[in-house]
Amino acid sequence: MSSWINLQAVGEIVVVGLLAGAGLPAIFALGLRALGMPGKGHVTASDDELAGGSTAGIAIATVCIAVVLAAIGYGIYIIVISGHGAK
């Protein structure tokens, strides 16, 4: 291993960057897509109107959006905790 570059640290940064940079937006998009699932009360009024969504879609969207919000909260927590040591 080179004394200039820590390849293990670079690998960890790449993995976390991919998860946070691509994974969280993908989970959020999945949640929004689940909200558009037609339910029993779906009527064909117009393309931009949602009339009664699927119960399963709402449950999936709730879980997906909760995961994204938890990740955001954890990121803020990490930033606040690391700021306390730099006095």
For residue 25, what are the domain limits? Answer: 8-84
Determine contact, residues 51/41, Cβ cutoff 8 Å: yes
Please give the pLDDT value at position 37: 83
Please give the pLDDT value at position 39: 73
d(CA 78, CA 85): 12
Q: What is the pTM of this model?
A: 0.70
Kindly state whether residue 18 falls inside one of the protein's structural domains: yes
Q: What is the pLDDT of residues 11-63, one digit of tens each?
A: 999 998 998 899 999 999 999 999 888 876 655 555 555 556 788 998 999 99
Kindly state whether residue 3 falls inside one of the protein's structural domains: no
Kindly state whether residue 2 falls inside one of the protein's structural domains: no
CA 22, 26, 32 angle in degrees (round to 5)?
150
Query: Is residue 82 over pLDDT 60?
Result: yes
Overall domain count for the chain: 1
d(CA 23, CA 66): 14
Write 51-57 long-range contacts (CB < 8 A, 24+): none
Q: Regarding predicted confidence, which is higher, 77 or 36?
A: 77
